[in-house]
Amino acid sequence: MIVMKFGGSSVADADRMREAAALVKAALPRSPLVVLSATARTTDQLFEAAGRAEAGNLPGALALHGELMARHGALARDLMPGGTPPELAEALAILGGELDLLLRGVALLKELSPRSMDAIASIGERLSTRILAAFLGAAWVDARDVMRTDGTFGCARPLTAEVEALAVSHLAPRLRPGSTVVTQGYIGATAQGLTTTLGRGGSDFSAALFGAALGAEDIQIWTDVEGVLTSDPRVVPGAQPITELGFAEAAELAAFGAKVLHADALAPVSRAGFRLVVANTHRPQGGRTEIRSEVPPRRPGEITSVAYKEGVSCLRVPPAQDADLLFQASTRLLEAGASLYGLLATPDGGLLVARGETADSEKVLRDLGASGLSVQRGWAAVALVGEGLREAPGRALSLLDALADEPIAAILAGDTGVSLVFLVPDNRLSHLIPKLHEHCIEKPLRGDA
């Protein structure tokens, strides 16, 4: 079997959904499991509606609810002009009612816990999958019956052994050549049945976990770009598709902000040794990236891609203070779901580099700042990634010549050997990323470096 994951932009409107459905139909002999995101903008809108409700603006929240439900109703009608099947109409109405109740509850209490937010966010994937399953005439499975997670709402951790067992009992029997099953990415549930989410962009992670659990031949990530590119195309318009990537390169890229893959999606796939393919729903015959366990051939020192992650904070502890403070801060941040990029204890004091990924960890950062620890915001982590660095790590340092005049805060040694990571101010990114791309990727390709 294979897993086909479609991101939000791949199911943004009826035309896109028809393209996605055509790809699924063509793959029916391979018993595809379809893992779907919410339609484009929907998750953002659900967060916005929840925020309005929390602020006590119930009319504003309900206006978004109305817009969102109308958009999904129109999508269903456009796809099925003969009439929305009654079971689909009923499923959509039930989801609309659930969202309405949740928003009213939040507005009444003026309180939005991560647990309530997850319940609200889950509506997006539940809507999109109902529509695609009806359009395809496919079985629909509630991912909350399979994706068992812990109770870290907002960035829940899957309980891998249980997910495997549930995938085998709930999904495998329904997967056979000629038919397909549609389920949701991003959402899961605790053993008590409370709805959770895996964090923004988490559908890739769901696809990887389901694929690993079911022994998929291929995990296909269908998105709006032709595979993984040499950099973020929004910042480097000339970024080029990378045909082959090793797992370590892909994992490093994802960890350092290449939004095309969720940071956690590589681990399950690399454990199981499967192939992961990233391709463009809109141009299925165009470029694509194959990510495999075999390391592709690279020139010594070759950089494959340049990634970055904004919103990084530097926590500094003066030398006179207890280094323990730094370790306590890092523990609290990790528990609250932050990403930590480095922890340095030196005779000059300590430096902790963190990115608050969740509302909880943002709160920890604020609390630490208020308690007297120096918390400097506004940094970004930039990563030069490439298997070629294993052979010639020193070469990457010479590439940093391009940055001689830049205020680099710290160089973080990666232990994977396939990246060089350093910190720069957020506001230098739009200038620096194209410059690094030119210097580290385009020039060597042209042969003038």
Residue numbers at the binding site for ligand ADP (CB under 6 A): 7-10, 37, 201, 223-225, 228-229, 231-234, 258-260, 305
Ordered DSSP codes for 151-176: S-TTSPPB-HHHHHHHIIIIIGGG--
CA dihedral (119, 124, 126, 127) positive or negative: positive
Beta-carbon-side half-sphere exposure of residue 298 (alpha carbons within 13 Å): 25
User: What residues between 351 and 410 interact with ligand ASP by CB under 6 A?
Assistant: none
Q: Kind of pairing, strands 275-280 and 139-141? A: unpaired
Ordered DSSP codes for 349-387: EEEEEEE--SHHHHHHHHHHHHTT-EEEEEEEEEEEE-T
User: What residues between 85 and 124 interact with ligand ASP by CB under 6 A?
Assistant: 124
Nearer to ligand ADP, 198 or 258 (CB): 258
Query: 149, 203, 305, 313: which one contacts ligand ASP (CB under 6 A)?
Result: 203
Beta carbons within 8 Å of 372's beta carbon, 6+ residues apart: none
User: What residues between 327 and 346 interact with ligand ASP by CB under 6 A?
Assistant: none
Q: Binding of ligand ASP at residue 35 (CB under 6 A)?
A: no
Q: What does the DSSP 8-state code read for residue 317?
A: E
185 binds, among Mg ion, ligand ADP, ligand ASP, none (CB under 5 to 8 A by kind): ligand ASP
258 binds, among ligand ASP, Mg ion, ligand ADP, none (CB under 5 to 8 A by kind): ligand ADP
Helix 86-109 and helix 114-136: axis angle, to 10°?
Answer: 170
Per-residue binding letters, 40-59, with ligand ASP (x by CB under 6 A) = ---x----------------
In angstroms, give the least distance from the CB of 7 to ligand ADP. Answer: 2
The site for Mg ion, by CB under 5 A, has a size of: 2
Whether residue 333 contacts residue 339, with contact meaning beta carbons closer than 8 Å, is answered with no
Beta carbons within 8 Å of 337's beta carbon, 6+ residues apart: 152, 154, 155, 199, 357, 358, 360, 361
Run of H or E residues at 255? helix 247-255
The Cα 234–Cα 250 span in angstroms is 19
Nearer to ligand ADP, 174 or 259 (CB): 259
In angstroms, give the least distance from the CB of 9 to Mg ion. Answer: 9
Nearer to ligand ADP, 233 or 444 (CB): 233
Q: Binding of ligand ASP at residue 185 (CB under 6 A)?
A: yes
Nearer to ligand ADP, 201 or 350 (CB): 201
In angstroms, give the least distance from the CB of 363 to ligand ADP. Answer: 26
In angstroms, give the least distance from the CB of 49 to ligand ADP. Answer: 20
The Cα 403–Cα 295 span in angstroms is 29
Query: 3, 6, 7, 19: which one contacts ligand ASP (CB under 6 A)?
Result: 7
Nearer to Mg ion, 256 or 379 (CB): 256
Nearer to ligand ASP, 189 or 382 (CB): 189
Per-residue three-class SS string for 174-241? HCCCCCCEEEECCEEECCCCCEEECCCCCHHHHHHHHHHHHCCCEEEEEECCCCCECCCCCCCCCCCE
- Chain Cα centroid distance, residue 294: 24
In angstroms, give the least distance from the CB of 346 to ligand ADP. Answer: 33
Query: 114, 154, 201, 257: which one contacts Mg ion (CB under 5 A)?
Result: 201
305 binds, among Mg ion, ligand ADP, ligand ASP, none (CB under 5 to 8 A by kind): ligand ADP
Residue with the CB atom nearest ligand ADP in the bound state: 7
358 binds, among ligand ASP, ligand ADP, Mg ion, none (CB under 5 to 8 A by kind): none
Which two tokens mark 175? 């997967």
Nearer to ligand ASP, 203 or 230 (CB): 203
Longest CA–CA separation in the chain, Å: 74
Q: Which residue has the tokens 């053993």?
A: 191
The stretch among 76-84, 157-165, 200-208, 361-369 that binds ligand ASP (CB under 6 A) is: 200-208
In angstroms, give the least distance from the CB of 41 to ligand ASP. Answer: 9
The site for ligand ASP, by CB under 6 A, has a size of: 12
In angstroms, give the least distance from the CB of 181 to Mg ion. Answer: 21
128 binds, among ligand ADP, Mg ion, ligand ASP, none (CB under 5 to 8 A by kind): none
Number of helices followed by number of strands (H, E) in the chain: 15, 16
User: What residues between 136 and 155 interact with ligand ASP by CB under 6 A?
Assistant: none
Residue with the CB atom nearest Mg ion in the bound state: 201
Closest CA to 256 of 186, 304, 295: 304
In angstroms, give the least distance from the CB of 344 to ligand ADP. Answer: 28
What's the residue count for the chain? 449
Applying CB under 5 A, the residues found at the interface with Mg ion are 7, 201
Applying CB under 6 A, the residues found at the interface with ligand ASP are 7-8, 37-38, 43, 124, 185-186, 200-203
